[in-house]
Amino acid sequence: MPMKIVPEDRKLFVGFAVLMACALLLVGYAVWNDRGSGGIPSSYSAGNSGTKVAFLLLQQMGYAVQRWSEDPRKLEELRPGATLILADPLPAEAREMEAVREFVRNGGRAVVTGVSASPFFPTLRPMQGTPHFQWKSYRPTEPSDLTRGVDEISMAPQFYFDSARGETPFIDGSETPVGRFAYGAGEVIWWSSSDPMTNSAIREKDNAQFLLNSVGDPGGGRVYWDEYFHQNGRTVVDSILKSPLRWGLMQTALIGLAVISTFSRRFGPQRTSVAVSRAAPMEYVETMAALYHKAGAAQISVEVVYERFRTGLQRRYSVRTDATVEQVAQTIVHRLGGTDLAAVTKTLREVESSRDDPDFPVGRAMALVRSMHIWITRLK
């Protein structure tokens, strides 16, 4: 037998679904429109430190760019000449970082930022120096493909590179915030800070052009923007289970179980409940009829039925209690259709006049009651 949901339960389910949808939309909106200043430079983040603008810029400039969130050991399947962007990667297992090094040795290019990239390329250890906490401008010292079209870049470096060990296209005194190093058959372009590619700084100076120069020409190969080392290899399920969101999911599950448990009573056998009749016993009806007949009060029965009739019109069709006979007649004719307005009006006038006539004929009273009963039945 098909399961039926009563209107009350349906409203409960719909309300619960709407509440959950609103909560999910609110969380999604907050994440999507994150404007916080902290956090990792993820290509998913639209916050100040995120790199979503840089990722979209590469797409618009014709680069074959995509996010990389798979196991780093699959990097060996990529063609030589591909570029891997590691924006402040989080250190991971040794075998995973070795897979990145092997990718570069086989002819890949790695654009890495931040001091957290040191474990990935331990042989290219950077130098300590005075860190900057405000953006500083750096001009190119020599023409190269990294400085093409760049007059100056703006960043806040936290460490520096040794100019004797590789190419350092930007130097200000002893500060060398960018270094390029050969690594096997490939190369590593290492920025001291991810500032030039962040949403808050990519518009500064020639930071955008510097990013394009570091990635290379649009037709040079596919570009993979790493997100694997941002989540440290964790899946979406792992991230949820290790966040406060898991408590919200548990509470939602408990509410769902409570709703299901209250609905489970519908699975039992269905039996029609015994309804106690509210109709007056015939003995009472006959007694009242005999009393009215003996008293000659036929107009009282007409008045009782008429009051019930007017009350029904007021509840169902919003007919005012002080409505005139003509207004009541128009409502009846409008709802029933095909009814003579003049005849209905005449009947109602007769009903109104009968209430003040103690000698009203019994036969006529029965006719009026019958007419009103027909209207009550047809008007439901």
Confirm whether pTM is higher than 0.75. no
261 Cβ contact partners less than 8 Å away, ≥ 6 residues apart: none
* The one-letter amino acid at 159: F
Q: Which secondary-structure segment (H or E) carries 87?
A: strand 83-87
How far, in Å, are 92, 96, 137, 145, 184 from residue 81 at the CA level? 24, 20, 31, 16, 13
Q: Burial of 307 by CB count in 10 Å (0-12 exposed, 13-18 middle, 19+ buried)?
A: exposed
d(Cα 28, Cα 24) in Å, to the nearest integer? 6
Which among 236, 247, 255, 261 has a CA at the least distance from the CA of 17?
Answer: 255
Q: List residues bridging with 111 in a β-sheet.
A: 85, 189
- pLDDT reported for residue 55: 95
d(Cα 41, Cα 58) in Å, to the nearest integer? 16
In sequence order, what DSSP letters do the residues of 295-343 get, joined into one string? HT-HHHHHHHHHHHHHHHHHHHH---TT--HHHHHHHHHHHH-S--HHH
Backbone dihedral angles phi then psi of residue 273, each to the nearest 5 degrees: -70, 150
d(Cα 131, Cα 133) in Å, to the nearest integer? 7
- pLDDT reported for residue 338: 66
175 Cβ contact partners less than 8 Å away, ≥ 6 residues apart: 129, 138, 157, 160
d(Cα 91, Cα 100) in Å, to the nearest integer? 12
Backbone dihedral angles phi then psi of residue 65, each to the nearest 5 degrees: -110, 140
- pLDDT reported for residue 26: 72
pLDDT per position in the chain (380 positions), as tens?
Answer: 455 566 666 777 777 778 778 877 776 665 555 444 446 888 988 888 899 999 999 999 999 999 998 888 899 888 888 999 999 998 888 999 999 999 999 999 999 999 989 999 998 888 888 888 888 999 998 889 999 999 999 999 989 998 878 899 998 888 999 999 999 999 999 999 999 999 999 999 899 999 999 999 988 889 999 999 886 544 455 555 556 667 777 887 788 777 776 665 555 556 676 666 666 667 776 777 777 677 666 777 777 787 887 788 778 777 777 778 787 777 777 777 767 778 777 877 777 777 767 777 777 778 877 877 877 777 77
- pLDDT reported for residue 295: 66
Which of left, alpha, beta for 34 (phi over 0: left; psi -120 to 50: alpha)? beta
- pLDDT reported for residue 19: 79
d(Cα 143, Cα 151) in Å, to the nearest integer? 10
Q: Burial of 161 by CB count in 10 Å (0-12 exposed, 13-18 middle, 19+ buried)?
A: buried
SS3 track for 335-373: HHCCCCHHHHHHHHHHHHHHCCCCCCCHHHHHHHHHHHH
In sequence order, what DSSP letters do the residues of 18-50 get, joined into one string? HHHHHHHHHHHHHHHT---S-S---TT--STT-
Structure tokens at 218: 């649009």
How far, in Å, are 190, 197, 262, 313 from residue 140 at the CA level? 15, 18, 72, 89
Structure tokens at 100: 């990145």
In sequence order, what DSSP letters do the residues of 246-271 get, joined into one string? HHHHHHHHHHHHHHHHHHGGGGSPP-
Q: Which of the following CATH numbers is that of domain 34-233: 3.40.50.880, 2.40.50.1020, 3.30.420.40, 3.60.15.10?
A: 3.40.50.880
- pLDDT reported for residue 328: 77
d(Cα 245, Cα 239) in Å, to the nearest integer? 9
